[in-house]
Amino acid sequence: MSAVAQTSDTLRVATLRDERWWGLFNDTQTTQPFNTPFTADLSGRSSAMPLLVSSQGRYIWAPDATTIEFDGKTFSVAGSDATAVTGKKGRTVREAYLYCIHRYVWPESQHEIILPKTPIYILPAGTDLKSENVAGTVLIPEGWQSYCDDHIFDLNVFPDPQRDFDVTTDAGYKTILTVTPYIPACGRPYTDALKRGDLLTGDDGRPVIFSSEAGYFACLDVTVPHVRERIHAMLAELHTAYGIETFLFDCSRILPELSADKREDFAFWWKSVCEAYPGSVTGISDGTVERWHPTAFMPATNATWQSLADTLTAIIAAGFSGYTYPCMPSCTTAGDDELLQLRILQLAAMMPLPVIYPAEDIFSSEKLNEALANTYAQRLAMLSYTEELLRESTSTGEPTVRHMDYQFPGEGFADCDDQYMLGAEYLIAPVTDPSGKRTVRLPKGRWQDCDGTKYKGPRVVNIDVSDGKIPVFKAL
């Protein structure tokens, strides 16, 4: 089928026999490939990519659509004066995806993509950076800011920030600071912000307050111009004083507290703050459409096995929406479940931009500490490969985390959403349940696991993961 432009109110595309479709969403609410009806309201929604691609090489590109509906058999694309394009380019989802990325999606004026050196190390605020034997990017999670007007850093946490950042700069490290729009919901910073009209309010006109493990917080209203100006001024001062130019922008905690209209409005203006800093990391749940720099996937703050599985599924599916540089720089906690915490850290380490917690003896169990150390050693040994993979993706547009059907079309992987290819060379099968067992589906070809055992695919392998290891297979 050749490409056909549709200028009427509605474009309808019927699915073919055994055809599967992906795209559009970057969340955990809609199962992909699509097999159940849904209606997506895209009016003002900045977090959806208006692209769908199929296992048979077909695509739908609808940049002006207001609604995309799927009844289980047919896609209906509607919008006022919308221009939608549908067509066929090749025989696989990969061919359709690459055609659309370069024909419709890729930025018209390519800027240099500033990827952080790998790995990313999570160091809690106040860590003595001199004592850490790290080489890569240092990410400081939230907790570093003072919220007072007289200085930027909380001097109780960073008594000498100039020294700390001189250390990382002199050693050639890049520092990423986590930037959030939150302030404590008490004390002078809160009352001053309230008087200035800086705080985000709900439909009842009251400031939106949410609770976290660190206390109660309000949120700066980035829809207000002078609030955005204050944030930009703070970031400019951080760059001038310390040379910091890369940030992790995270507003994921506040979005669930807002009504749909306020959430879209807030996400739009938060996106405008993020886009002023190319190369920074943005959160997948922040509603940003800026996909050409690292993107953070944030599991639930208090994780469960199900939320971990959902996060993995979302990361894999987001590859079809143009998110090419995923990472998991989250301080997610799993309560007292140390096994779950291990699996969260392992998934974070096995992203294209690996996140590593260098602290030793994180767990009370020696077995779990050893398993995490082995995972980190294995991931660090892959750095040269992943650095080349990231570099190549800046010109090809290919996702670095690839759905199995994307890499191995026609081998029955359309419904496989719990394992992925890291580029073309490594098959990663994260563990997302406490059973101690993991079933891995190997494609055609020869494969070798982390223990050196070789397999010939296609075949199904049952792995004992009770010792805490994560299954990783290398294509031979």
| Domain range summary for the chain, segments of one domain joined by + | 4-105, 120-390
Strand pairing partners for 420? 428
How is residue 335 written in tokens?
Answer: 């309560």
At 106-138, the pLDDT tens digits run 655 444 444 554 555 655 444 554 444 545 667
Q: pTM for the full model?
A: 0.77
Dihedral angle computed from the Cα positions of residues 315, 319, 320 and 324, in that order, rounded to the nearest 10 degrees: 140
230 and 147 Cβ atoms separated by less than 8 Å? no
406 and 396 Cβ atoms separated by less than 8 Å? no
Please tell me the number of Cα atoms within 13 Å of 265 on its side-chain side.
12
| Cα separation, 101 vs 88, whole angstroms | 14
Phi-psi map region of 436: left, alpha, beta (phi>0 left; psi -120 to 50 alpha): left
| Cα separation, 203 vs 390, whole angstroms | 43
Q: How many CB atoms lie within 10 A of CB 4?
A: 11
How is residue 297 written in tokens?
Answer: 């996937």
At 324-333, the pLDDT tens digits run 888 886 555 6
3 and 78 Cβ atoms separated by less than 8 Å? no
- pLDDT value for 151: 63
Note if the bond before 354 is cis, omega within 30 degrees.
no
Decide which of 202 and 322 is more confident. Answer: 202
88 and 57 Cβ atoms separated by less than 8 Å? yes
| Cα separation, 179 vs 19, whole angstroms | 42
How is residue 2 written in tokens?
Answer: 């050749």
| Cα separation, 295 vs 282, whole angstroms | 5
Average pLDDT over residues 207-221: 85
333 and 213 Cβ atoms separated by less than 8 Å? yes
Q: Which helix (H) or strand (E) holds 255?
A: none
- pLDDT value for 47: 56
Looking at residue 105, the DSSP 8-state letter turns out to be I
- pLDDT of residue 103 exceeding 80, the answer is yes
The CATH number of 120-390 is which of 3.90.1150.10, 3.20.20.80, 3.30.70.20, 3.40.50.10470?
3.20.20.80
Q: Average per-residue pLDDT in the chain?
A: 82
66 and 43 Cβ atoms separated by less than 8 Å? yes
Among 57, 51, 61, 60, CA closest to 23: 51
Average pLDDT over residues 284-304: 60
- pLDDT value for 420: 98
Among 172, 174, 162, 293, CA closest to 238: 162
- pLDDT value for 298: 67
At 240-280, the pLDDT tens digits run 888 887 888 888 778 778 887 888 888 888 888 887 886 67
Alpha carbon separation from 399 to 335, 382, 457 (Å, rounded): 33, 17, 24
Supply the CATH classification number for the domain 4-105. 2.60.40.1760
- pLDDT value for 252: 74
